[in-house]
Amino acid sequence: MGFVVRIGPTPGFHQFVGALDDSKLMSSPADAVLLDPEVLEQLARNTSADKLPAMLELFVCELDQRAHTVRQLLAEGALEAVSNEAHTVKGLAGSFGALRLQVIAFELERAGRGAKDAVIGDLGERFFECVEQTLDCYRARADNG
């Protein structure tokens, strides 16, 4: 089962985006925060706090599946498809406040479109490392309520 986060005519969304602190999403993945709790708090306000745990569980499941797909596509050398998956992960990560993953997914998306094999290999490793860190972080958050 796939999970799609739609952010559109949600009341207050544009004010929320305008209020985001750009310092949390730096140009370097290492500088970006792993999990931005403000994004999750806003998501809870826009939906409901009761729904957030289930949404986070779906996020973790979807991210795990997407990472598996990226790994397969990289092994096959399907760089355009890697780029498309990375684009999806970028949006998914941003919607749930996984800002470091969002930055790395964006880099992987661009590299896949440029078909740079040498860059893709390094980015792929960094992407999977960040996915694992992100999954660990969100699972720990779910375990702690």
Instruction: Per residue of the chain (145 residues), give pLDDT as tens.
Output: 444 444 443 343 333 334 444 444 445 666 789 999 999 999 999 998 899 999 999 999 999 999 999 999 999 999 999 999 999 999 999 999 999 999 999 999 999 887 656 668 888 999 999 999 999 999 998 877 6
All domains of the chain in start order, with CATH: 33-143 (1.20.120)
Q: Supply the pLDDT for residue 138.
A: 93
Report helix, strand or coil for 76: helix
Nearest-10 Cα torsion for 57, 4, 121, 26: -90
Contact partners, residue 56, CB within 8 Å, separation at least 6: 40, 96, 138, 141, 142
pTM, rounded to two decimals: 0.78
Q: Supply the pLDDT for residue 117.
A: 61
Q: Write b or e for each residue in 17-43: b if 16 or more Cβ atoms lie within 10 A of its Cβ, otherwise e.
A: eeeeeeeebeeebeebbbbbeebbebb
